[in-house]
Amino acid sequence: LMTECVFEGRPYLHGELLPRTGRCIICVCYYGEITCSDEKCPPVKFGCQRLTDDLTCCGKIVC
């Protein structure tokens, strides 16, 4: 079973996070395959609001 991925010329081991390819995308090396998914943001509690910014996907929750 292959456990190494190569991303932008650099090897990554199984389970390692890869550098972000997009603000809301997380990629990981999974048994030799690079798998990516959308970042899941925590739900906003009643009475709070999410403040978005350009650095993070989910922004900041302010209550």
Q: Are 8 and 25 in contact (CB under 8 A)?
A: no
Q: Report domain extents, the chain.
A: 5-62
pTM above 0.75, yes or no: no
Q: How far apart are CA 13 and CA 44, in angstroms?
A: 34
Q: Which residue has the tokens 């910014």?
A: 53
Residue 53 is predicted with a pLDDT of 81
Mean pLDDT of 6-10: 94
pLDDT, one tens digit per residue, over 13-63 is 999 999 877 778 999 999 999 999 998 898 999 999 999 888 788 889 999
> Using DSSP, how many helices (H) and how many strands (E) does the chain show?
0, 6
Residue 56 is predicted with a pLDDT of 81
32: Cβ contacts below 8 Å, ≥ 6 apart: 1, 2, 3, 4, 5, 14
